[in-house]
Structure 1
Amino acid sequence: MRLASLIAAATALAALTACSQPTAEKAPAAAAEARTLAAVDLDQPLRVLGTEPFWAVEITPAGLTYSGIDRPEQKAANPGPALQGTVAVWTTETEAKAPLVVTLTATDCSDGMSDRTYPLTAKVEIGGESLTGCAAASAAIEKAGESGRVE
């Protein structure tokens, strides 16, 4: 009888332990939650761009790449954005040790050169320079025409 009681207690303990373990289904669902700003998925490749002078920052999961006319290309790790309300901020450092901060705000933006309207307004600070421009998903920019909304 004592052996039967021990087996019953062990079975009950195993059942309770199994109930308290996180299921494999719950973990991926939380990780799959997309981070968005103005309906733009921030985990997909983004293009941030500006004029006068012409410059761009490509944001991919692999990293950030800053480039421009008569400017050396600079690469940085992608730490992911810090989101707060309608603002997303990437804070990193280029391989040349220059601080790089990209701030995207969920407000419409015009680049001043085309008739496009972008869903995000951008500010880029690199080294001691501060640049303003627009941003959207890279795929949306590639399929957009020279006028209209970039979606």
Structure 2
Amino acid sequence: MQAQTGNPILSLTCPSGGNRLQVNVPGFTPTGSEERLSFGSGGEVEALVADFRGDRRLGGVSAAGAVPANLAALVGGPVSASYGSQTSGPHPAVPEDVVGSFVAGCRNRAAVGTPRAGMPGRTVSPCLVQDGRELSAQPMRAIGTEPFWAARIEGRCVTYSHPEDQPGTRLWTRYTATQLGGMWTGALDGRPFVLRTRKTPSCSDGMSDKSYPVAVELLVHDELRKGCAEPM
């Protein structure tokens, strides 16, 4: 979709090689604490996982996810997109023939994707997808004391909790595998959030006789905290 000047204002693509849809809005400004970009038309809305670092190639912010089953409805009218407090649109409706060709092309792309053996039609959580690939990181539960805190780690999603926020706040982070564990990097309240794990023969929570197989180091609210973790 283009402005009258010819500059792109919103683009949707289905990259080759799998069941993926990408949305890019050049006018959006990347926000470290926001990783959900929504788009749609009328009452149909789909949320995709956005890269909080921005898109260096296309500009602005890009987000991706599986090709929605209701894609035709999502792009069948004036399309809008939102990212945090930023909005784009509604933009003029795309001609029906273009919508039809685009939807058919995306579905064909999805059809040629290679499903895992014995797992046809399996839905993958956005937490387990990064850079268009499924993550193999093992889910873990981490705890720390002095002060008390906890974290539930599922793929690239980390739900961080403490006594003042017992339900927890889910953060969309970037996962990096390391030699002895992993690192999850994101932002909380506009400040860096970095969680690192390291395999160890024994990690103590300081309150019980239980021994954990993983040691944790957490940087949150400009404080460095220690803890332990175990697989869920």
Confirm or deny that 1:131 pairs with 2:225: yes
How many Å separate the matches in 2 of 1:23 and 1:63?
A: 25
- Contact 2:193/2:221 (8 A) holds in 1: yes
RMSD across aligned C-alpha pairs, in angstroms? Answer: 2.8
Amino acid at match of 1:76: L
2:213 maps to which residue? 119
- Partner deviation per Cα, 1:68-114 (whole Å, 9 max, x = no partner): 124584431043x31121131011113x2221100000112011111
Larger radius of gyration: 1
Alpha-carbon distance change, 92 to 23 in structure 1, aligned in 2, over 3 angstroms? closer
Which whole-Å CA distance do the structure 1 matches of 2:153 and 2:172 have between them?
10
In 2, Cα distance between equivalents of 1:76 and 1:118: 24
Check conservation: 2:136, 2:155, Cα contact below 8 A. no
Distance in 1 between the 2:114 and 2:171 partners?
Answer: 33
> Separation in 2 of the partners of 1:105 and 1:123?
9
Higher helix share: 1
Q: CA deviation at 1:24?
A: 3.4
Q: Choose the corresponding residue for 1:24, options 93, 111, 114.
A: 114
Give 1:18's aligned residue: none
Asked whether the 8 Å contact 2:151–2:161 carries over to 1, the reply is yes
TM-score (norm 2): 0.39
| Distance change (3 Å), C-alpha of 1:33 and 1:63 | closer
Q: What TM-score do you get using the length of structure 1 for normalisation?
A: 0.58
Runs of 4+ in 1 over 4 A off after TM superposition: none
Q: Which amino acid aligns with 1:101?
A: V
Q: Please tell me the residue identity of whatever aligns with 1:90.
A: W
Whole-angstrom CA distance in 2 between matches of 1:75 and 1:23? 30
Distance 2:228 2:165 in 1: 19
Q: 1:89 to 1:32 in 2, by over 3 A?
A: closer
Aligned pairs, how many?
104
Higher-strand-fraction structure: 2
- Aligned equivalents of 2:180 and 2:134: distance in 1? 21
**Which residue identity lines up with residue 75 of structure 1 in the other structure?**
R
Percent of aligned pairs with the same amino acid: 30
- In 1, the alpha carbon distance for the partners of 2:135 and 2:157 equals 20
CA distance in 1, matches of 2:193, 2:208: 27
Aligned to 1:65: 159
Higher relative contact order (CA 8 A, sep 6+): 1
> Out of 172, 182, 187, which is 1:77 matched to?
172
Q: Structure 2 unaligned segments of length 5 or more: list them.
A: 1-111, 118-132
